[in-house]
Amino acid sequence: MAWEDRPQIIKDVGFDFSWDSKKVWALDIPAEEMDMQNLIWHFDIPFWEVEDTDDYNLKPWEVIDEPDKHSVHYKKIQKADLKYPIDIMENKGRWLILDGLHRLVKAHMQGLKKVMVRKIPREKIPEISKK
């Protein structure tokens, strides 16, 4: 799905730019601990896609509730490595995940209350934007 064709809910909560995850990973930003409650709202938004579709049509809660029905994302959650922090950036008054939603879901499923994050400053947008 093209960036501009995203559902309205994604446009409402999401960024107005696309980014390169590898460029985000390359940033030298220290990790810090954050309460998961600051990020759990992501589970209400269809950031993922149902298998064999190319849409934003699957909420993390749906995978948590029915892992067998959504095995592709459930396997990604199981494989997610919590040693890597979740990359976030402030957007529209709250923290938005750039990279690490599967890790956040795994942390939630393991009952963790806090996760490690890297707070990417908005000033880094030119460095991480897709060209």
- pLDDT tens digits for 6-24? 777 777 787 777 899 999 9
Q: How many domains does the chain have?
A: 1
Q: What is the CATH number of the domain that holds 109?
A: 3.90.1530
Q: Write the single-letter amino acid at 108.
A: H
Choice among 48-57, 64-73, 101-110 with the minimum mean pLDDT:
48-57
pLDDT of 3 > 70? The answer is: no
Positive or negative torsion for Cα 85, 110, 81, 9: negative
Q: For the whole model, what pTM was predicted?
A: 0.90
Q: What is the pLDDT of residues 90-100, one digit of tens each?
A: 988 899 999 99
Closest CA relative to residue 49, chosen from 65, 62, 64: 62
How far is Cα 76 from Cα 101, in angstroms, rounded to an integer? 10
Whether residue 99 contacts residue 24, with contact meaning beta carbons closer than 8 Å, is answered with yes
List the domain range (segments joined by +) for residue 91.
3-128
